[in-house]
Amino acid sequence: MSDFKVLKKDGKARLGRVETAHGGFDTPAFMPVGTAATVKAMRPESVAQTGAQIILANTYHLMLRPGAERIETLGGLHTFMNWHGPILTDSGGFQVMSLSDLRKMTEKGVTFCSHIDGSKHELTPERSMDIQRMLDADIAMAFDECTPFPATLEQANESMQLSMRWATRSKDAFVERDGYGLFGIVQGGVYKELREQSADALKNIGFDGYALGGLAVGEGQEAMFDVLDYAPALLPEDKPRYLMGVGKPDDLVGAVLRGVDMFDCVLPTRSGRTSQAFTRMGTVNLRNARHADDPRPLDEHCGCPACTDYSRAYLHHLVKTGEILGAMLLTWHNLHYYQELMAGLRSAIAGGELAEFAAQFAAAQAAGDIEQL
């Protein structure tokens, strides 16, 4: 079981610490996504230098290639990818559900065809738990169905009830070990009564942490925040709360204000590969011609290599010519920015100054948008 302690509160926001078999991490925490046992365009050492303490890996992709059994034989995911800190693995449910034309779902689980070679596979709660055990994930996720948006109340209820039955099976199949934990996932779409039922069901089963799933799937920030206004408080005070697949910087700040502790998203790495940089003054598109002769750093207050060693003009040149170094530097910068944002949130909570921090963040972002960096 992983261990979690709340160290300080500021409103609904919590400063905490999670301990696992492979070390600890501070919350609120942002987990870079290492889908195929690598954070794209980054060495593990570079990821750590951004301030990241925990990363996420993908059960679906790793079960298909190179295979969970192979990774186990090679010493587990930490050894395989040379990341020796904590790792959280998703259950594979979200990826399988996205294969709408290639999968068949039953009470037992999901049968699907690989997007790689068309081979047939079955993923059940029991199989997902076994794969995550073979990967040696410090934090495993219960197998669930990610309820799509939009969904009617009836559709969301049917989906949520199935996920709760799968949550029970996931818990039964999970192998308890010191330093390892299993998180349940609250579903229910945008319907409060379903979210309440789901949270109650998961608390009765008993998990080491609780995730809020089925958000950031097209409902928009306002609807997501409407759910987050009440959903974190449905969960145990002494367990970490994880908002899956979120998000943009202002999503993170808003969710922390509402009591969320953990996040993951492909946005900072994907944006780094598509020429977009996140800064304290808003987003910067390095493809824009205005940067071609600009000797300034990307962000003069940032200490990442992209900002300390190179100009906007050079970064613009790299992305316009398609050089790999451009993706590497912008990915490093984005992950560094996200980790600095989380560190700032933690510091603000510790000092009882979160409201001021959030206001300053919003003002700086708005000013940057006006300037159209």
pLDDT in tens, 80-112: 999 999 999 999 888 877 776 678 899 999 998
Nearest to 363 by CA among 254, 286, 282: 282
Whether the CB-CB separation of 123 and 58 falls below 8 Å is answered with no
Computed on alpha carbons and rounded to an integer, the radius of gyration of the chain in Å comes to 20
Residue 148 pLDDT grade (very low, low, confident, very high; cuts 50, 70, 90): confident
What is residue 208's predicted lDDT score, i.e. its pLDDT?
A: 98
Cα separation, 92 vs 59, in Å, equals: 5
Q: 3-state secondary structure string, the chain?
A: CCEEEEEEEECCEEEEEEEECCEEEEECEEECEECCCCCCCCCHHHHHHCCCCCEEECHHHHHHCCCHHHHHHCCCHHHHHCCCCCEEECCCHHHHHCCCCCEEECCCCEEEECCCCCCEEEECHHHHHHHHHHHCCCEEECCCCCCCCCCCHHHHHHHHHHHHHHHHHHHHHCCCCCCCEEEEEECCCCCHHHHHHHHHHHHHHCCCEEEECCCCCCCCHHHHHHHHCCCHHHCCCCCCEEECCECCHHHHHHHHHCCCCEEECCHHHHHHHCCEEEECCEEEECCCHHHCCCCCCCCCCCCCHHHHHCCHHHHHHHHHCCCHHHHHHHHHHHHHHHHHHHHHHHHHHHCCCHHHHHHHHHHHHHHHHHHCC
Cα separation, 183 vs 212, in Å, equals: 10
> At the top level of CATH, which class does the domain 3-264 belong to?
alpha beta
Residue 142, CA distances (Å) to 36, 163, 205, 310, 345 in order: 19, 9, 12, 43, 28
Which of 90, 130, 208, 261 is catalytic? The answer is: 90
What is residue 94's predicted lDDT score, i.e. its pLDDT?
A: 84
What is residue 373's predicted lDDT score, i.e. its pLDDT?
A: 46
What is residue 95's predicted lDDT score, i.e. its pLDDT?
A: 83
Residue-wise pLDDT for 149-170, tens only, equals: 999 999 999 999 999 999 999 9
Neighbours of 204 (CB within 10 A): 10
Mean pLDDT of 239-248: 97
b/e code 322-358 from CB counts within 10 Å (16+ = b): eeeebbbbbbbbbbbbbbbbbebbbebbeeeebeebb
Active site residue 264: yes
Residue 31 bridge partners (DSSP) = 264
The residue ranking higher by pLDDT, 115 or 272, is 272
Which of 130, 261, 264, 299 is catalytic? The answer is: 264
Q: Residue 53: CB partners within 8 Å, gap ≥ 6?
A: 23, 24, 25, 26, 29, 85, 86
pLDDT at residue 368 above 70? Answer: yes
Cα separation, 164 vs 14, in Å, equals: 27
Residue 369 pLDDT grade (very low, low, confident, very high; cuts 50, 70, 90): low
Q: Whole-number mean pLDDT of the chain?
A: 95
Q: What residue spans in the chain does CATH classification 3.20.20.105 cover? A: 3-264
Residue 115 pLDDT grade (very low, low, confident, very high; cuts 50, 70, 90): confident
Residue-wise pLDDT for 179-194, tens only, equals: 999 999 999 999 999 9
What is residue 237's predicted lDDT score, i.e. its pLDDT?
A: 97
Residue-wise pLDDT for 275-311, tens only, equals: 999 999 999 999 999 999 999 999 999 999 999 999 9
What is residue 96's predicted lDDT score, i.e. its pLDDT?
A: 75
Active site residue 90: yes
What is residue 93's predicted lDDT score, i.e. its pLDDT?
A: 83
Whether the CB-CB separation of 135 and 72 falls below 8 Å is answered with yes
Residue 6, CA distances (Å) to 13, 14, 131, 287 in order: 10, 6, 30, 43
Per cent of the chain over pLDDT 90 is: 91
Per cent of the chain over pLDDT 70 is: 98
Looking up tokens 């977009």 gives 276
Whether the CB-CB separation of 240 and 261 falls below 8 Å is answered with yes
Mean pLDDT of 235-258: 97
What is residue 372's predicted lDDT score, i.e. its pLDDT?
A: 45
User: At 110, which amino acid appears?
Assistant: V
Tokens at 66, concatenated:
């190179």
Residue-wise pLDDT for 8-61, tens only, equals: 999 999 999 999 999 999 999 999 999 999 999 999 999 999 999 999 999 999
